């Protein structure tokens, strides 16, 4: 027997509207949460149109859309699979759907820094909808098995799927130093160094102690034990992190500078209301902590790469640069529900640009007043010169390198459990 997919009834209306509006094949993503017994689908979003594309189905465009969408999903939400709306026979589209769901999962998982868990769900869903008959065919694949064949799955619409989900949130202080390669002119070298530095920090997060409402809970304990059933609950968590016990001599290396990430980030995870376990809450929250920081650093790198390309030769030779990381903003999926998606706002952007991205990426009609901007306060770069942090000791003296495109993230938390600010600065040797 295949898995069961419990689907928010609003998804049925969304897919029906797409059937009425579109003549050509339409692809998109299915978003929700997996559990041991069943999966919950709370959103569907079509792939944005690509003007220059000549293909009816652009696999690279679909997978890039999935990567962008996955950045906008807090803990507990993920891309569960793909759908296609076409009057072609379901059997004829099965190969296409299989290729899409594997490509989407491979790209998204390549960005994940955390270690896979034994209880991770590896099945992803594909849905074929005939726009004329409205018949749906649901299949699933084990995306960790390259030889996986399609298996049937149940697709059931239900009212208020996530109306009583629980939320666990925390604010974490970050202080991380990443040495930069000697040759920073290579984007590949920079990416590799940043990812390795983030992986070290990720290991600290994974091995940290999680307190929920001030207590350590047994892993198998029902998070909602003693609470009323089907009533949404909100929990506050703390992550107690112990830095790796490493001597300075263990990390001496030749480098061209350093990236420092400091400050406070707001993280949250949503959990289905079907007796969620404490270990699931901890896993989803820790993964969101890692994901939100990695996303911001990567977004800043992308922005600085673009700026570098547009302004070659215009940059001065200062040895330290500071940049504000984007702040996290949340938006409810449904006005009456607790579950939110998120976006990241750079300091030079307005809220209208956030709502535009929500529309483009998630096909959500959000108003500016719907956005929750309270959790993180934008960072400010102070005019006062910040004294550079000492970099990791080099094996031999190095010539200062030109600041090609990345700085260091530095953030100052006004109050650790209230507001958060983030900034990025780079320090040359």
Please indicate, yes or no, if residue 41 is contained in any of the structural domains: yes
* pTM for this model (two decimals): 0.84
Point out the domain boundary residue: 158, 184, 204. Answer: 158
Please indicate, yes or no, if residue 341 is contained in any of the structural domains: no
Instruction: Mark whether 253 and 151 lie in a shared domain.
Output: no
What's the average pLDDT block by block, 10 residues per block, for the chain (429 residues)?
A: 87 94 86 90 93 74 96 96 92 92 94 89 94 93 92 93 91 84 62 84 92 90 72 87 58 68 90 87 96 91 72 52 85 83 93 96 94 85 45 27 28 30 49
Instruction: Mark whether 56 and 117 lie in a shared domain.
Output: yes
Please indicate, yes or no, if residue 183 is contained in any of the structural domains: yes
- Strand-pairing partners, residue 329, are 343
Instruction: Mark whether 99 and 183 lie in a shared domain.
Output: no
**Token pair in block for residue 345:** 């706002």
CA dist 302 and 344 (Å) reads: 13
Q: How many domains does the chain have?
A: 2
Query: Which residues constitute the domain of residue 175?
Result: 166-325+379-428
Instruction: Mark whether 213 and 289 lie in a shared domain.
Output: yes
Q: Between the CA atoms of 66, 69, 75 and 77, what dihedral angle is there, to the nearest 10 degrees?
A: -70
Point out the domain boundary residue: 129, 158, 187. Answer: 158
Q: Give the CATH number, domain containing residue 76.
A: 3.40.140.10
Point out the domain boundary residue: 132, 158, 184. Answer: 158
- Supply the pLDDT for residue 57: 78
């Amino acid at each position: 027997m295949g898995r069961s997919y419990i689907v928010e009834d609003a998804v049925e209306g969304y897919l029906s509207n797409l059937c009425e509006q579109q003549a050509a094949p339409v692809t998109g993503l299915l978003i929700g949460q997996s559990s041991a017994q069943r999966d919950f689908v709370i959103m569907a979003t079509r792939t944005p149109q690509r003007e220059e594309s000549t293909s009816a189905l652009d696999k690279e465009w679909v997978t890039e859309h999935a990567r962008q969408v996955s950045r906008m999903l807090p803990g507990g939400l993920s891309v569960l699979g793909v759908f296609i709306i076409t009057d072609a026979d379901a059997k004829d589209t099965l190969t296409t759907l299989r290729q899409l769901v594997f490509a989407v999962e491979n790209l998204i998982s390549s960005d994940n820094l955390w270690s896979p868990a034994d209880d991770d769900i590896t099945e992803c869903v594909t849905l074929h909808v005939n726009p004329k008959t409205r018949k749906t065919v649901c299949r699933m694949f084990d995306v960790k098995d390259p030889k996986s064949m399609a298996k049937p799955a149940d697709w059931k619409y239900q009212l208020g799927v996530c109306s009583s989900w629980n939320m666990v949130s925390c604010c974490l202080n970050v202080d991380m130093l990443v040495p930069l390669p000697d040759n920073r002119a290579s984007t590949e070298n920079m990416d590799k160094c940043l990812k390795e530095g983030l992986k070290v920090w990720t290991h600290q997060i994974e091995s940290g102690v999680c307190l929920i409402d001030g207590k350590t809970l047994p892993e198998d304990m029902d998070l909602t034990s003693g609470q009323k059933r089907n009533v949404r609950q909100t929990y506050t968590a703390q992550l107690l992190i112990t830095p790796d016990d490493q001597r300075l001599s263990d990390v001496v290396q030749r480098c061209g500078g350093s990236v420092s990430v400091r400050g406070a980030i707001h993280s949250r995870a949503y959990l289905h209301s079907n007796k969620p376990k404490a270990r699931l809450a901890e896993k989803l929250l820790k993964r969101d902590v890692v994901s939100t920081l990695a996303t911001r650093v990567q977004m800043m790198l992308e922005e600085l790469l673009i700026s570098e390309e547009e302004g070659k030769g215009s940059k001065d030779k200062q040895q330290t640069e500071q940049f504000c990381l984007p702040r996290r903003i949340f938006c409810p999926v449904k006005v009456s529900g607790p579950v939110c998606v998120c976006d990241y706002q750079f300091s030079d952007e307005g809220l209208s640009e956030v709502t535009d991205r929500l529309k483009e990426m998630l096909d959500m009609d959000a108003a500016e007043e719907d956005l929750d901007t309270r959790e993180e306060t934008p960072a400010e770069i102070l005019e006062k010169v910040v004294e550079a942090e000492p970099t990791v000791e080099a094996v031999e003296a190095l010539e200062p390198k030109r600041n090609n495109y990345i700085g260091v993230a530095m953030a100052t938390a006004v109050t650790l459990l209230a507001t958060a600010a983030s900034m990025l600065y780079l320090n040359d040797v």
